[in-house]
Amino acid sequence: MKTYLDCIPCFLRQALFASRVATNDELKIKEVLDRVGMLIKGIPMTSTPPETGRHVYAAVREITGVEDPFHDLKQKSTKKALELYPALKEITARAQDTLDTAVRLAIAGNIIDFGANPDFDIEKTIRQVLQQKPGVYHIKELKERMAEADEIVFLGDNAGETVFDRVLIETMHKRVTYAVRARPIINDATMADAEQSGIKETAKVVSSGCDAPGTILGRCSEEFKALFRKADLIISKGQGNFETLSQEKGPIFYLLKVKCPVIARHLEVSEGDIIVKGPSNQKS
Residue 150 interacts with a second copy (CB under 8 A): yes or no: no
Which of 1, 8, 153, 205 binds a second copy (CB under 8 A)? It is: 8
E strand map for 24-147: 136-137
- Rounded Cα distance, 58 and 179, in Å: 21
H or E, element range at 78 = helix 71-94
E strand map for 103-222: 136-137, 152-155, 176-180, 204-207
Residue 66 interacts with a second copy (CB under 8 A): yes or no: no
The length of the chain is 284
- Rounded Cα distance, 219 and 242, in Å: 16
Residue 264 interacts with a second copy (CB under 8 A): yes or no: no
- 275 strand-pairing partners: 136, 256
Which of 1, 18, 21, 39 binds a second copy (CB under 8 A)? It is: 39
> Could you give phi then psi for residue 109, rounded to 5 degrees?
-60, -25
List the interface residues with a second copy, window 198-237 (CB under 8 A).
none
Which of 38, 87, 93, 226 binds a second copy (CB under 8 A)? It is: 38
Which of 1, 18, 22, 29 binds a second copy (CB under 8 A)? It is: 29
Residue 62 interacts with a second copy (CB under 8 A): yes or no: no
Residue 37 interacts with a second copy (CB under 8 A): yes or no: yes
We find the least distance from the C-beta atom of residue 66 to a second copy, in angstroms, to be 17
Q: Give yes or no for a contact between 104 and 214, defined as CB atoms under 8 angstroms apart.
A: no
Which of 1, 24, 26, 138 binds a second copy (CB under 8 A)? It is: 26
- 233 strand-pairing partners: 152
Residue 127 sits at the vertex; the CA angle it makes with 169 and 95, to the nearest 5 degrees, is 50
We find the least distance from the C-beta atom of residue 280 to a second copy, in angstroms, to be 24
Residue 6 interacts with a second copy (CB under 8 A): yes or no: yes
Residue 124 interacts with a second copy (CB under 8 A): yes or no: no
Closest to a second copy by CB, 2 vs 204, is 2
Q: Among candidates 27, 87, 57, which has minimal Cα distance to 186? A: 57
> Could you give phi then psi for residue 179, rounded to 5 degrees?
-105, 135
Residue 261 interacts with a second copy (CB under 8 A): yes or no: no
Residue 97 interacts with a second copy (CB under 8 A): yes or no: no
Where do contacts with a second copy occur on this chain (CB under 8 A)? 5-6, 8-10, 12-13, 16, 20, 26, 29-30, 33-34, 36-41, 45
